Homo-oligomer: A and B are copies of this chain.
Amino acid sequence: MRAYKDLSREELLALKAELEKSYEEEKAKGLKLDMSRGKPSAEQLDLSMGMMDVLTSGSDLMCEQGVDCRNYGILDGIVEAKRLLSDMMEVPMDNIIIYGNSSLNVMFDAVSRCMTHGVLGMTPWCKLDKVKFLCPVPGYDRHFAITEYFGIEMVNVPMTPTGPDMDLVEKLVAEDDSVKGIWCVPKYSNPQGISYSDETVRRFAALKPAAKDFRIFWDNAYGIHHLYDDDQDELVEILEACREAGNPDMVYKFSSTSKITFPGSGVAAIAASDANLKEIRRQMTIQTIGHDKVNQLRHARFFKDINGMREHMRKHAAIMRPKFEAVTDQLEKELTGLEIGSWTKPKGGYFISFEAMEGCAKAIVAKCKEAGMVMTGAGATFPYGIDPKDSNIRIAPTYPTLDEMKEAAKLFVLCVKLVSVEKLLAQ
């Protein structure tokens, strides 16, 4: 395969005509594909239907603490749920609080609490002239939406194959006390599927922030969401690393079962140091009488323990893996050597990240849409929706069926080729 950039103008024009013909054929198929969000497929959701039978009218709904899960009581989670989620999050049971159905909500509340009440007795962020967050890019649009909503200035930090550019992170947090936080998806990152190296995690734990109220927002969304049985990423555990580095309070770790059981009907949690949890409980005591303990019990009894959950995740992987491979195989087969894009090949998580030629991402996504395939908007993986190079595209392969995904991958590479040719011709 010759790289497109080495083709003559005539060759490019001929190629363009050919690609346009294929594109019109694709368009004529009238596809209707949704690859916009990281949603599990119906087949994956079916895996958890047994959860609907765990609790019946004949069930004893007492939790181990002897509290009736149907009534008020127990602010921060029943023991059964704490045990399960602490195993899942690789933290001690005492360092976890069980929340409601959404870890995004927990993160929102955490930022909101910092805004109105500050961190461990320090000035509330809403009283400061300027608050900044570091945002590894590309990253998760909903993280960036939270910080934007609260008027927090976002500073891009490039991702590398081992995690965020730590030289830059260390420099920015050390020299600017308005830098109060950083968004991280440390394992199978959104959208690249990158897992932070041991060195990256250690450097995070050893940060020396100018702001004493700096916090790492560690969104462990894909902690056990492996695609392969025999090739899994393992991370250094951040709470322990922070404690060892003398920074026990520097991190909030978030997770949920949203992509394990049912999105929207799962159980979320936060893990942090004793001092942080004490402050969080103070907020929770005011905010709620307690979260849904019946659903906590349902989850705990369904999985029994972390082994049950890991077994369950293998079934998810069996459904997801062929879809991921349908995309990466197609990209490899069709784009290798053309020098019009690069992509990641994740071992877990929910996304594949595609890096198009500069200035091509928006056009590719638009072309896909025109042919009936909705993707995450180009730019969404950057703060304020602005990808400075207009090159990153997030591919979410889980929701469509495998056959649809194969169709989608074909259409996608076609659009990449066509837009790239047009770009080269316009230069």
A286 and B70 in contact, given A57-B53, A59-B52, A293-B264 (Cβ under 8 angstroms)? no
- Among A70, A142, A285, A292, the most chain B Cβ lie within 10 Å of the Cβ of A70
A104: chain B residues at CB < 8 Å are 287-289
A179, B142: Cα distance in complex, Å: 35
A101, B264: Cα distance in complex, Å: 12
Q: Which B-chain residue is minimally distant from A112 (CB atoms)?
A: B112
Asked if B263 contacts A71 (CB within 8 A), the reply is: yes
Contact of A145 with B by CB under 8 A: yes
A285, B108: Cα distance in complex, Å: 11
Asked if A286 contacts B145 (CB within 8 A), the reply is: yes
Per-position contact with B for A260-304: 1 when CB-CB < 8 Å, else 0? 001111000000000000000001011111111111000000000
Number of copies: 2
Asked if A108 contacts B71 (CB within 8 A), the reply is: no
Q: Which B-chain residue is minimally distant from A150 (CB atoms)?
A: B116
A288 and B108 in contact, given A68-B42, A100-B101 (Cβ under 8 angstroms)? yes
Contact of A72 with B by CB under 8 A: yes
A83, B334: Cα distance in complex, Å: 51
Per-position contact with B for A24-63: 1 when CB-CB < 8 Å, else 0? 0000000000000101101001001110110111010000
A289, B285: Cα distance in complex, Å: 24
Contact of A212 with B by CB under 8 A: no
Which A residues, 324 to 379, have Cβ-Cβ distances below 8 Å to chain B? Answer: none
Asked if B150 contacts A264 (CB within 8 A), the reply is: no
A264 and B290 in contact, given A53-B56, A56-B53, A116-B126 (Cβ under 8 angstroms)? yes
Asked if A45 contacts B68 (CB within 8 A), the reply is: yes
11 more contacts with CB within 8 A, not counting A42-B68, A105-B287, A264-B291, are A40-B71, A50-B57, A52-B56, A70-B264, A71-B262, A71-B264, A100-B101, A108-B286, A108-B288, A149-B283, A262-B294
A-B CB contact pairs (8 Å), 8 listed: A40-B71, A45-B70, A69-B264, A70-B264, A72-B263, A101-B291, A108-B286, A265-B295
